[in-house]
Structures are given as structure tokens and as C-alpha cells.
Structure 1
Amino acid sequence: MTLFLRPSPDHRPHAAGFVLLTVATGILPLAPARAADQTRIPSQSQNQNQSQNQTHPQKTPDAGKQDTPTRSEATKDEKIVVTARRQNQMQVISGGQLGVLGTKKGLDVPFNVRSYTSSLILNQQSQTLGQVLENDPSVRTTYGYGNFSEMFVIRGFQIDGDDVSINGLYGITPRQLVSPQLYDQVQVLNGASAFLNGAAPGGSAIGGNINLMFKHATDTPITQVTGDYTSNALGGGSVDFGRRFGRDNAFGFRLNVAGQSGEDSIDHEHRHSAALGADFDWHDDRTRISLDMDYQNQGVDWGRPAIFLGTGVTAVPRPVAPAGNFGQPWAYNQLNYIFGMLNVEHDLSKHVTLYGAFGGMGGNEQGNYSNPTVTDTATGDGTAGSMYVPYVQTNESTRAGVRAHFDTGPVRHEINAGGSALWEETDTAYSMALTSISTNIYRTAYTAPLANTFNGGNVGNPQPINDTRLYSLFFSDTMSFFRDRVALTAGFRYQNMLIDGYDYVPSGRGPVNSRYDQDAITPVVGLVVHPTRRTALYFNRIEGLSPGQTASGNVVNVGQVFAPYKSTQYEVGAKYDTGRFSTSLAVYEISQPNAYTQAIGNTGTYRFTEDGLQRNRGVELNVNGQILPGLRFNGGGTVIDADLRRTAGGLQDGHSAIGVPNYTINGNLEYDLPFLKGATVVGRVVNTGKQWVNTANTLHLPVWTRFDLAARYTFAVDHKPLTLRFGVDNLANTRYWASAFNGYLLEGLPRTFKFSFTANL
């Protein structure tokens, strides 16, 4: 059954209209709320002086009456500014949605999870999911398989866009780029999550999970208009509207519209996006229902790609000028997605809740990709090919279960039982050039498009290349002892995977070239001990059966599905949480097959491959919250040891994995200026350690550091809050290779200026 119609298959970027928002109502000269200081209520001594001079001819009783409305309005505006500034504060919540366990506080679970809020997304003008996750010390963002998609790295393992979940449900998230304006929270779980959410369909998400939560109407009405600008000439805006109505405000409606278009901070690189989300919900005393329907379009034209190093290269080339673009004008991608989900919860009693969710996604992607392969690192000379890939995906995903609470003597139980299923069909093809062009990353010659003459499948009407069906049943019991000071979670998930791969053919399903039908029972054990009500010590051991990774993007074996594998994680840690301030420390070990992309000689073509096992051990520290009144911090650091084992012939055993930094540090500091009400300054530092470029460990990227600076100012206009923001990313305009993950060298963005305003109407 197909839930969504496929978007239009036109593969060239069409005019994606973006939302240009301005406040056209007559805005009079603006007086900031600081004016309240000039009309403050007089002190007691001043009142006495006024009473003594009450009979002075120049003073009348009417004069005092005329001052009262001014003082009242100023006080009202000051309260509006204080409230708006509090809502704008950088906030990272300890806890989040944990799949079968439901929404939990971070202190109460044996996992490391935190949530970034929509106010942080708005204040930082984040236009992609990767820009939101720049705040997380354990996450690094790179590009996917030879295209412009974002790929995330947690605990040294990748998370593909296919494996980002929404409300704990896999398979319904836009695959390459995600518009964060549609979401209330971006949640990051460090560590394996197969028990919590089931197997990720793309075969990644071993080192962690990223979960998105849709926006829904709140008790407070929302009418918010935002306009934004990003250098060089990228403009856009958004509207956020929410209302509750009906008896007891039982019905809710939330509408989000966002868009942008123009040239970003990289020379010639144009981006466009449009996102629309309509969210409905209803509740009574026992039932809660929500329906979310969304559309997203994103595209990149003349994008700056990642680069490869050719065989025989003995050094890493120096990065190009920060804004330099070595991509070709005809390289692009165009991404269209229709997606959504239905959630239902019903309380049979105060102890038993039934729940279910169903979602789907229809995706249509097209792109012509060209990645330089550098053959001479001193001069920057190299070659570049061309590959056009259409990619159509139809997914359906569901989850249902029961959650029950009861006591057996002194022990309190929370039982979770249910099942999940996911159906995914991927239709794709490719057309590539058999010749390559000569290029230079420092002095790029822009050429006419290459003739893509070698085809696999039907590029005009892609046919199925693989079918994935994932089924699972789960059960867990969380037992709480000694008045909830000790909680032990034990459970299992039975997982079954049916994965078929097909040959490329002009029509219909081709012959089966790979078939996997595997199942396993994967247990989970977690322990939480609360020495005090604000502290916790925890341990978990969790296994997961994951589908093998699928080659996609600009590789000659696009569509190849690798064998499923079983992974095991051990983790121990400590947490402290006061509500306003939280910190956590974790030590872990986890492993999975080692996968990366390698150049095929100097032909300008590439292959995605696996070799051996990658075992990662590490330590993580996260610190979030208010340090002092008006001073907030978000950040932390990680140390990772990523070893290769069981490689072919043992040649790379003991070496470090490609693109995994030996350490990462993030620090985000926010300070409310005491001498200017409504004003806040923000500083951020991102530091990433050494990364190996090849499995032989003869080439590496050096340590890099980036500094960002921003400020915002909130004031009242006609008794409504208005916030202005200005920021600079990569303040020093540092040139650096940001990532070598998967064998790609991705250059960091240049100095980027951002400006936005938000009016609450």
C-alpha cells in the first residue's frame, strides 16, 4: 500500500518559490523597553517632595493622572521584553522521546539523550539539520556519498538521512537535507538505539540516533513572522501560526511555512528551499490524537562538493580559499518529499495506555554530481567525472504497543510491549560519463556538461532496485526499587529483516542479485541508581541487528546492499540535573563493519566498500544550562579511539578508522547584558581533533578550530515583542578541511554573516 503520491519527476530545478515575509503595518519610531527606566515609579523621597509642592501653581492634579498611562504602558512593555527574552534563551533539555519507552527525563534512563529546542533553531537561523547539530559536542556533520546530502557522525559512526526518525518512527524523514523549521525539538541519543526504535532501514544509527518532534499548538496562541538574510545573497523567511479552540481547548492547529533562495557564502553556490507543515491534534481526558502532514523541497545548484584523493597521493592538499568553489556549474540536486504521520494514544485506565503510530514518506530526488579527484596535491590538479542519479523512495512505517504501570509488593513495574514494521521500496538508476575532465581545485576551469553515455537502469523512469521489510516485536520491564532510587530495565526485541536487491533493468523488477532473510533476538539491560534525587549513575548493554548499508549517491555500485550485522554496546556513566543545569559523563564501547568510499584509480569514479570491523571506545562530557543568572552554557567534549580489526589480510589491523576525530570540543556561551535590557550576546567555539584520511594512516587532517559570534536584541513595538539578530560564523574566515569521513575531504564554510528579525503579532 502506498500512502503518498510521488512528487513530480522533473529533474531540473524548478522555480521553488520561497516565502518573503515583511511586516507592512505602519511601524512608528521604535522605543526600546529601556525607556521604562525613564518613566519608572518615583521613589518614596520623590513622592514626599511632590506632595510638599502640590500647591505650586505649575502643578495640577491632572498632571499626575496623565503620567499614569505612560508608566503603565512602559511597565507592560518591560514585562513583554522579559518574557520574550526568557523564551529566546538557549535551552538544551536533558531527556527526550525514547521510542518504546516514551518520553523520559534524562536523569531517569540508562541512556544519554538531550533535546535542542525550536527557540535555539530560530535564534541561530539554522537552515539545515546539520546547522542545528553544530551545537552538540558529540556530533559532526559531513556530506553523503558524493552528493550534497548531510551525514552525521556520532561516536565515530555515521547516521544517514534515511535513519533520522520522527517521533521515534523510522522511514518518514526527508533523506538528504532536512528543514528544521518544522520541528519543535531535535533530539540526540548517544549510543545504539535498535531496542528503542527498531532497526534503522539504512543500516546506520549504530553510534546514536537523531529524532525530530513535530510542532503542535500550545495553550498560548502563536503568530510569529520571521525574515532572514545570509551572505552572500540568501534571503527568506517563515510564518509560525498556532491556535487551540473548542471546549477545553481540545482541538489544536499549527501551521509552519518557511523558505529561502539565493547565493550562500560559497561563491556561485545557490540554494533554495520551501517547507510546509500542517499539524492537527485533539485530546480529551483519555485519548490523544495528532496528525502531521508536511512537504519539503530543497535544492543546491553549482554546489561545492567534497573531494577525493587519487591513488599514489602522498600528502593532503591545502584547503582552497574559504569561499572558493571547485564545483562545476552543471552539478546540482533537486529534492522533493511528502511525508507525515498519525499518532493515537488511549488510556484504558490510569495504569494502562494503548498507543499506535503510522507514517509514510514519498521522496523524489534527482542530481548530477561531480567530485574532483586530486592527483597532484602540490598543484591541485585532478580529474572530475559526471554521474546523474534519479532516486525515488516510497516508505511506510508503523508502531503499536501497550504501556502499563503496576506494583508487586515494594517493586514498581513499567511494562512496554508491542511491535513495529517498515516497508521501503527504492527505485533508482544512473547515467555516467565514461570520460573525465581535467580540473584544478585552486584554479578551476568551468566546462560544459559531460555526456553521460553509460546507463544503469531507466534514468527517465527508475525501476525498483531493492525492497526492505523490517518487522519486530519488543518487550521490556522497568522495575523500580527503594522509592525509585534504583531502576532496572530488562527486555528484548525480536527482529526480522527481509531485504531483496535487484539488477538494473529498463522496466519492472530485475533478477534478484542479493537476498537477506535474517532474524535475531537482541536483549537490552539498563540500570539507573540515584544516590540523590539530582544525580544518577547508569549502565547499559544493548544489542542490535541492523540492515547492511546501501551504496547510494555518486558511486558505481549505487543500490548495492551489504549484509546485515549484529552490534553490541556497553556504556557506563553519571548524570547531574537540577532543572536549570545538567551535566553527564559517559564511557562506552561499540563496533560495526568498517565502510568507506574509495576512488577507482584516477578515473573520476568511486566505489562504496566494506573492509573489517571498526571498534570505537570513548569518553563523553556534556554540560548544559545556567551557570549564573543571565549566563548560560551548552557544550562539552569527546575523546574517541576508533580501531580497525579483522581487515583483509590483517594489513590495517590496529589502525584508526577514516574520518573519526580523536577528540571534539564544543562551547556555546550566552550572556544577557545587564546594562541593556533585552540584549544578549553569544559566542561559540568548535574544535575538532586529528582525522585520518586513509586506512593505512599515512595521511591525516590537522586539528581545526572555528569561532562564531552573535547578538540579539528584543524590544517592544505596539506592546508586541520584536527580536533582531545578527551573527557571524567562522569569524576569522579560517580555511580548513572539516571532515575526512567516508574518504571524502569536505571543506569548512567561509565567514558567513546572518541577520534576521522575528515579530510576534
Structure 2
Amino acid sequence: MRQFSARTLLAAAWAGTTMLTAVGATVVLCTPARAQQAEAARRYEIPAGSLAQALNRFADQSDVQISYEGKLTEGRTTPGLRGTFLPREALSRLLAGSGLVARAADTGTLTIAPATVGRLELDPMRIQTVGYTNGDEDGETSLGRQSARDNGPIVVNGQHVSPNLEAGIGPWGSRSIADTPYSVTVMSSEQIQNTIARDLDQLYKMNPVVQVNAPTTIFGYPNVKIRGFDSSTGIVDGVRLSSSTYGLSTEEIEKVEVMNGLSGFLYGSGNVGGVSNYVLKRPTYESLANVAVGNYGGSQYFGHVDLGGRITSDDTLAFRFNGAYADGGTSKDDQHLKKWLVSGALDWNVTSKLLVQLEAAHTYWHLDRVDTRFYTNGLGYWPDAYDNSKTYTPGWTYNQTTSDRVGANVKYQISEAVSLRSAYMYKEDEREYVIIYPIDTPSGWSTYSITKTFPYDTISQGAYTYLDVAFDTGPIGHKLTVGGSWDTFKEVRHVVGNVPGTYADGTPYPPGANLTLDELLNMPTPVFDGDPGPKYKSNDSTNFNAIIGDDIAFTDSLSALVGFNYSTIRTRSYTTAGARSSGYKKSAITPTVSLIYKPVPALTTYASYMEAMEAGTIVPNDPTLYTNPGEVMDPIISKQYEVGAKYAFSDKLLVTSALFRIEKANSYNEIAPSGLTTINQDGRQVHQGLELTLDGHISDHLRIVAGGSWMDLGIEKATNAALKGKKPIGSSALMAKASLEYAIPAVDGLVLSGGAYYSGAKYQDAANANRIDGYTLFDAGIRYRTEALGRPTTFNLYVSNLTNKDYWSSYWQLGLPRTIAFSARTEF
């Protein structure tokens, strides 16, 4: 395994940024560049205190004219501003958390007005730009809409197209992506709408540095790899939940913030390769009523209603409601999916300094003729991808999840320099399923034992509280954050978790053997009778994190993030009688340090180090699949080294690069002679590589999201000599992706889109005997925004997997066939 020296890491990161910078510059210089028209960066010295006084100082120092009603700024404060910024970035920082935005007037001045989303807005993705709009309050991009709402709020609301967006970075709070010493990408609700995404698979497919591991139709939630490691749990509105992300629906999501790499200091244990923060839609303070109908592909028609607005005229209360329903056949043969969502959110502006936010949701997801895992026996090789349009399961298989979630957020501006933020979330999922696992053999298809898993519950809770204090020590500025986060998970099952199938007369239903494909798809329906018995807690886990961190500004161009997390993990498994069968409790201090240097305002370079403690693997308690069901592996400490550079062209195009090295204990699967799987831990996985991204608008009409990653993957220090030097299972070392949108100048409202997504080869087994070929997928779309019956309406057609490519999405699951989706969305 090659090791990168610090000099090599810095040189490669700089070279990657330079390469993409050159590409972007070539295109930008060939188009009417906004960069040439952008305001120059200036140095600002605006102390914390009255917002009105701060805005006056901003106007003096920026030569920008501002007008507003005096009552708007009464009682409002700002943390101030010190450093060199573009005017739009300076204004954004001054208005952050105030509930106010800037509007461009016809005279060229800026008018300060109430925001459309939250008076004390917790959404970290708002930025106010100066001079032109990048979008509006409903998240639509300006592509194809140059004539629409030109005088609307100058607000970017969770879009993926501006490099100056901010993202929530755990205890550090909201930070500009361009100035964050981590690799962060954002996928927006706009992308969900434009690609008519039924689930999050489409967004992850488009993300340049994320590998889709298995479609949602396998497990019922998105399953991806980031930097070569599995990532299936996530963060919801900044709250860590240890359960899988069942129950999250695309219709309720404002954006997905993906942070690549370790996040131990930020969110506690787990997700070594990276983590996704699912940011939910928040209430609006202007009337919102959007209705969408369409087809996700096949015969699966859907409807979606998105409502929002003030409840009280003084903006004390505001709401958001999302309701969605979909039912019908998917793009796979004879597969049927039904799902629905009801979600609501409430803002309560208790005072101008105290905001309380509440949210709740109920979702239902039921899939018949499920997608599944594949196995082989006696072939001696891993076969080429089967026909992706088939499920290879009979019609009586199903997978069902019902989810309920409630959450609350509080933000309190205690004084000019002190603020408090806190949140809590509870999520409960009930799952049941009948799934078979096909085995490809020389004599035909076989299956493992046919069983039904009785309904079981996974219950997760999470919370955090952070106190932020801003102060100076001489010329050095600080934002000290102290607090903690906590999350817990438990699984409640029936004493009899699985029941074998029988024929109608009660005789045992044997596993399938020597079947043709037609026989496999049409196996007779079994009967699943039996008393599941009472429920018991089969396992639980708790993660507590006490953190202290300091955001230090040495000079305008040099800063640092330094923090420590005292993390405690407790994991326990239980017998059906309630006795503890295994478990552990372990604590560790995991540090992080990042150094950030900005030689010029548009360029950010950084170096960072982070550690994270991770719970050991818990083997699923399914004796029909595993030889060691319910086993709890020992916890592990992982480490990450990263250097990177980010360059912002003008205000809408960001180039990023990052070089990283992650060290983690190796977990792998071993197939026993019985055909069952044994999960083991042995050796150290080392993933090191380079990531490059290009994100934003190249011109008024052309938007691009592109990039990729190259990784050197290997296993070191394994006691099993056969594992040393091998590649980890299922991880692609190379990815390259690009998606484009082009607004036709001659036809206002018409946008063409397309993308190409390459995922490299991977290995199917720990011995690297079976290599799975890489694949390239293509998408294409067209949408047209016009007026229908006097209302803004967008008609959309999107085709994913345009060439109907058959491919292995992961090392034992198939991908998705060509899917043709269409929709109409009207704004009332």
C-alpha cells in the first residue's frame, strides 16, 4: 500500500484544484462572466451589537445603498463582521439569524425585508446575494426563468448551485462551504423536483463523490458508500440517529448535505467514510401552495401537495405541510410500490431572539416483489449482471416499513456574543418482510429457507445542546462552543422472530432447488402460520458526546478549528428471557484540528486531522443468513488525515479538491460451507485518495455538477495472511460523474438536462477472486416552465439509465433499469 507524504498530499490537492480551475476559467472566459462584474472583496470592521448600526457601517464600508423600515431592526443584533469578504458574503453574515433578507430595488439599492423562511432561521443554507437572483423561495433555479420574479428576495434557499452556500457542520454550526476544512457537497430539493426522484438514489447517483451501494428497493432506505465505506445511518436536521434512514421521503426534504470523511467530533461514532445530513423543509412566511402530479416510472402515479405560510399576521407563527401519495408498478417487471407521507412543521417566534421549531411526520412504504441479494454456489466465478428489469423473486415477497417521527429545535440569542441551540428527535420504525435470496448454481436457481420476519420495531432518539460564545483575546477572535450530543437505539422483536413457510396442508415448504427463472418467479405462495410470542428488547446502544471546540481567527487569512470529543459508546444484546448476552461500554477522547489559510479571498486551503470511535459491527439477528447472528464486535478507533483546496469563481462556481487517508478496522464477510455468512473483523482498512468537484453556473444558461474520486484501497496488518493487500469488498476505486443543465436562450422556460455517471470495478469477495466490472449510466431530461390557467406550471420529463444498462449496483445487488418519469407542477 502506497503512503502519501504531506508534501505529496499538498501538491496533489493543489494540482487538482489548479486543473479544475483551469477548466472552469477557460469556459468562464469564453462566456459573459459574472466574475468580471462581481463586486470586489473589501475588508470590513463591524463590531457586534445593534443590527441597524451594523447595516449603516456596512453601507459606508461597501458603498452599497441600503434602505429599510426602522422597526425591522428594532431589538435585532448581529455578531458583527471582521475580515475580507465580497459585499454579498458580508451582508449574508450580518443578516444571518436575523430573519431578514435583502431585496434588489429598481433603483439599484438594496431593501431589507422579512425573510420568507423563518425570522430566526435555522436553515444553514440561506445566503443573500447582491445584484441578481439565483433562485426564489420555492427553490426553483433561475435557469429557464430569467424573466420570473426579478425583484424577488435575493435568497438562495438550499440550492446546490451556489458555492457560497452554508452548511450545518455539527457543533461548528453554519459555515460557508467554501471556507469549511472538510469535503462537503449539497443536493437540493430543486434536484429532487427536476429529476422527479421517487427516492434518494437518484441524487446520490449524481453526487460526484458518492457510490450508490444498493437501490432503496433493496432495504427500504438509501445505502451508499462514501470514500469506500458503507453509510446507511444519517443525521436529520443536525440530530444524529443510529437507526437506518427508514421513513425519510423526498417530498419533505429541503436538501441533503453530504460530508465526506470522519465525523467523530461532529456527530459521534460511526459513518467513517462520511455522513449525510437530511435537512427538512421549514415553514415559509409568504403564502406557498404547490401541487405536483406525475409518474415515477412504469405505472406508478403520484401526487404531492406542499403548503406553507403565516398563521399570524405578526409572523409569530408559521407552518409547512407536505402530503404525498404514490401507488403502482415500478420500472421493474410486476413490482408494485405504495407509499405515502404526511408531514408538518411549525415555527413559533416567541420573541425576536427566541425561535422554537416543531416537526412531525408519518410515512408508509410497501413494496411487493422485492429486489434482493444474490448468491452463487458451485459456479467458481461471479456472473455478469442479470437483466435489471426483473426482480428474481416471486410476487408474494414483500417489504414494509411504517415510520413515525417528531422533533423540536430551539435557537436563543442570549446576548450579542452568546447564543444557545438545542434539538431533539424521536423516530420509530416498524418493519416486516418476506424476502428470498436466489442462489445461482450450475443446475439452475436455488434459494435459502423461505421464512417470514414478523413485525419488529427500531426506536431511535437523538439530541444536542450547544452554547456558542464569541470573544477576543487581543487581536485573535474566538467562537467557543461547548455542549454535548446524545443518541440511543433499541430493537424490539418477537421471541419468535421468523417463521418458516409451509404448504396449505401444513407440510414444510422446502427451499427452491434446480429452478428455471420462470419457476423462480412463480414459486407457489407459502403459508406463514405461527405464534410470534411476546416482544422483547433484542439489543440497544447509546452514544454520548461531550465536546469543546474553538473556532479561532488569527488573522483575516489564517484560522483554525480545534476541538475534543469525549465519546462514550455502550452496546448490549439480550436473550429472549431478557438477560444480557453480550455488550460493552467504552469511552475515548477523539480530537480534531484543522488549519485554514486563505491567500486570497476566493481561495481556501486547509489541512485537517480527525479521530472517531466507532461501535463494532452488530451482526443482524437472522439465523437464516448468518452463522453468528446477534454477535457484537469490539469498538474501534479510526483516523483521518486530509488536505484540500477550494476556489470560488465569482459567486456561483466552486472548484474543490481533497486528498485524504482513512485508517479503520477491517470488517468482512465469509461464506461458510452451509452457504451462510460469517461477519468477521480482522486487519486494518486503509483508504487514501483524491476527490475533485466542480459545482455551479458556468454561465447564465449553463449549470454543471461534475467531479470524481480516485482511491487506493487496501487491507493491512491482518492476522489472516490471505487478506493482506486485498481490496475491501464492494468498493469502487474510481468514479467520474457529470451532470449538466442548459436553458435554451431562444425559448424562455425551456431547459435540457443530462448526465453521465461512471462507477469503477469492485471485488465481490474478501479474497478478491471475483471482480465485478464497472459501469456507466446516462440520464436525459427536458422541462418547460410556462403558465397554465394563469398559474406558473412546470412540465417535466426525465429518463434515468437512458441506455437500459444492466449492472451490479453493489457486490450482490442489481441496479435499476431504464425509468421514464414525468410530472406537472403548479404554483398557486
Deviation at 1:452, TM superposition (A): 6.8
Q: CA 1:701–1:442 in structure 2 vs 1: closer, same or farther (change >3 Å)?
A: farther
Structure 2 residue identity aligned to 1:197 = Y
Q: Percent identity?
A: 24
| Counterpart for residue 635 of structure 1 | 706
| Counterpart for residue 263 of structure 1 | 329
Deviation at 1:460, TM superposition (A): 4.9
Q: CA 1:551–1:636 in structure 2 vs 1: closer, same or farther (change >3 Å)?
A: same
| Counterpart for residue 28 of structure 1 | none
| Counterpart for residue 532 of structure 1 | 600
| Counterpart for residue 413 of structure 2 | 347
Query: How far apart in 1 are the matches of 2:460 and 2:719?
Result: 36
Deviation at 1:290, TM superposition (A): 0.5
**Alignment of 1:292 onto 2:359:** yes
1:38-62 Cα distance to aligned partner (Å, 9 max, x none)? xxxxxxxxxxxxxxxxxxxxxxxxx
| Counterpart for residue 652 of structure 2 | 580
Residue correspondence of structure 1 range 397-416 to structure 2 within 5 A: 397-416=462-481
**Alignment of 1:392 onto 2:467:** no
Residue correspondence of structure 1 range 637-676 to structure 2 within 5 A: 637-676=708-747
Query: How far apart in 2 are the matches of 1:441 and 1:613?
Result: 42
Q: CA 1:624–1:492 in structure 2 vs 1: closer, same or farther (change >3 Å)?
A: same
Tell me if the contact between 1:300 and 1:332 (Cα under 8 Å) persists in the aligned partners: yes
Structure 2 residue identity aligned to 1:486 = L
**Alignment of 1:477 onto 2:547:** no
- 1:198 pairs, out of 264, 268, 286, with 268
Residue correspondence of structure 1 range 135-146 to structure 2 within 5 A: 135-143=206-214
| Counterpart for residue 102 of structure 2 | none
Residue aligned with 2:178, SS: helix
Structure 2 residue identity aligned to 1:478 = D
- 1:309 pairs, out of 376, 399, 414, with 376
| Counterpart for residue 229 of structure 1 | 295
**Alignment of 1:155 onto 2:227:** yes
Tell me if the contact between 1:692 and 1:700 (Cα under 8 Å) persists in the aligned partners: yes
Q: CA 1:270–1:360 in structure 2 vs 1: closer, same or farther (change >3 Å)?
A: same
Query: How far apart in 1 are the matches of 2:695 and 2:213?
Result: 25
Aligned residues: 663
Residue correspondence of structure 1 range 380-459 to structure 2 within 5 A: 381-389=445-453, 390-429=455-494, 430-431=497-498, 433=500, 435-438=510-513, 442-445=517-520, 446-449=522-525, 459=532
Residue aligned with 1:612, SS: strand
| Counterpart for residue 685 of structure 1 | 756
1:529-581 Cα distance to aligned partner (Å, 9 max, x none)? 11111110011100111112222376334443322111111111000124311
Query: How far apart in 2 are the matches of 1:551 and 1:411?
Result: 49
| Counterpart for residue 610 of structure 2 | 542
**Alignment of 1:334 onto 2:400:** yes
1:636-686 Cα distance to aligned partner (Å, 9 max, x none)? 101112201233432110011111112011111000011211000000111
**Alignment of 1:375 onto 2:441:** yes
Deviation at 1:241, TM superposition (A): 0.2
Tell me if the contact between 1:143 and 1:306 (Cα under 8 Å) persists in the aligned partners: no
Query: How far apart in 1 are the matches of 2:220 and 2:695?
Result: 31
- 1:240 pairs, out of 306, 314, 323, with 306
Query: How far apart in 2 are the matches of 1:248 and 1:190?
Result: 41
Structure 1 residue identity aligned to 2:656 = S
Query: How far apart in 1 are the matches of 2:340 and 2:383?
Result: 36
Q: CA 1:88–1:629 in structure 2 vs 1: closer, same or farther (change >3 Å)?
A: farther
| Counterpart for residue 731 of structure 1 | 802
| Counterpart for residue 585 of structure 2 | 517
| Counterpart for residue 499 of structure 1 | 571
Structure 2 residue identity aligned to 1:342 = A
Deviation at 1:305, TM superposition (A): 1.2
TM-score between the two structures when normalised by the length of structure 1: 0.83
Q: CA 1:370–1:334 in structure 2 vs 1: closer, same or farther (change >3 Å)?
A: same
Tell me if the contact between 1:80 and 1:720 (Cα under 8 Å) persists in the aligned partners: no
Tell me if the contact between 2:215 and 2:809 (Cα under 8 Å) persists in the aligned partners: no
Moved more, 211-220 or 286-295: 211-220
1:434-487 Cα distance to aligned partner (Å, 9 max, x none)? 94212658545321245779x9xx84543111121221210001110222x111
Unaligned stretches of 5+ residues in structure 1: 1-76
Structure 2 residue identity aligned to 1:191 = G
Moved more, 679-688 or 441-450: 441-450
Deviation at 1:372, TM superposition (A): 1.1
Q: CA 1:274–1:408 in structure 2 vs 1: closer, same or farther (change >3 Å)?
A: same
| Counterpart for residue 19 of structure 1 | none
Residue aligned with 1:119, SS: helix
Query: How far apart in 2 are the matches of 1:358 and 1:324?
Result: 42
Deviation at 1:144, TM superposition (A): 8.9
Query: How far apart in 2 are the matches of 1:183 and 1:460?
Result: 38
Deviation at 1:432, TM superposition (A): 5.5
Query: How far apart in 2 are the matches of 1:371 and 1:150?
Result: 20
Q: CA 1:417–1:298 in structure 2 vs 1: closer, same or farther (change >3 Å)?
A: same
Structure 2 residue identity aligned to 1:565 = I
Structure 2 residue identity aligned to 1:221 = S
Deviation at 1:700, TM superposition (A): 0.8
Q: CA 1:690–1:586 in structure 2 vs 1: closer, same or farther (change >3 Å)?
A: same
Residue aligned with 1:567, SS: strand
1:197-216 Cα distance to aligned partner (Å, 9 max, x none)? 122xxxx4110010011111
Unaligned stretches of 5+ residues in structure 2: 1-144, 501-507
Query: How far apart in 1 are the matches of 2:519 and 2:690?
Result: 42
Residue aligned with 1:170, SS: strand
Residue aligned with 2:362, SS: strand
Tell me if the contact between 1:169 and 1:398 (Cα under 8 Å) persists in the aligned partners: yes
| Counterpart for residue 10 of structure 1 | none
Tell me if the contact between 1:226 and 1:758 (Cα under 8 Å) persists in the aligned partners: yes
Query: How far apart in 1 are the matches of 2:482 and 2:149?
Result: 47
Deviation at 1:82, TM superposition (A): 7.5
Tell me if the contact between 1:402 and 1:417 (Cα under 8 Å) persists in the aligned partners: yes
Residue correspondence of structure 1 range 28-107 to structure 2 within 5 A: 79-80=147-148, 91=161, 94-107=165-178
Structure 2 residue identity aligned to 1:470 = N
Query: How far apart in 1 are the matches of 2:688 and 2:499?
Result: 40
Structure 1 residue identity aligned to 2:603 = T
Moved more, 638-647 or 402-411: 638-647
Tell me if the contact between 1:148 and 1:303 (Cα under 8 Å) persists in the aligned partners: no
Query: How far apart in 2 are the matches of 1:558 and 1:520?
Result: 28
Deviation at 1:589, TM superposition (A): 0.8
Tell me if the contact between 1:588 and 1:619 (Cα under 8 Å) persists in the aligned partners: yes
Deviation at 1:373, TM superposition (A): 2.1
Structure 2 residue identity aligned to 1:757 = A
Query: How far apart in 2 are the matches of 1:632 and 1:144?
Result: 27
| Counterpart for residue 388 of structure 2 | 322
Tell me if the contact between 1:375 and 1:383 (Cα under 8 Å) persists in the aligned partners: no
Query: How far apart in 1 are the matches of 2:515 and 2:250?
Result: 35
Structure 2 residue identity aligned to 1:296 = T
Residue aligned with 1:131, SS: helix
Moved more, 187-196 or 119-128: 119-128
| Counterpart for residue 468 of structure 1 | 541
Query: How far apart in 1 are the matches of 2:149 and 2:516?
Result: 49
Q: CA 1:375–1:452 in structure 2 vs 1: closer, same or farther (change >3 Å)?
A: farther
1:466-518 Cα distance to aligned partner (Å, 9 max, x none)? 121221210001110222x1111111000112211112x2xx52x21112110
Tell me if the contact between 1:361 and 1:396 (Cα under 8 Å) persists in the aligned partners: yes
Structure 1 residue identity aligned to 2:543 = L
- 2:346 pairs, out of 273, 277, 280, with 280
Tell me if the contact between 1:95 and 1:115 (Cα under 8 Å) persists in the aligned partners: no
Residue aligned with 1:121, SS: helix
Residue aligned with 1:654, SS: coil
| Counterpart for residue 61 of structure 1 | none
Deviation at 1:278, TM superposition (A): 0.4
Query: How far apart in 2 are the matches of 1:714 and 1:175?
Result: 33
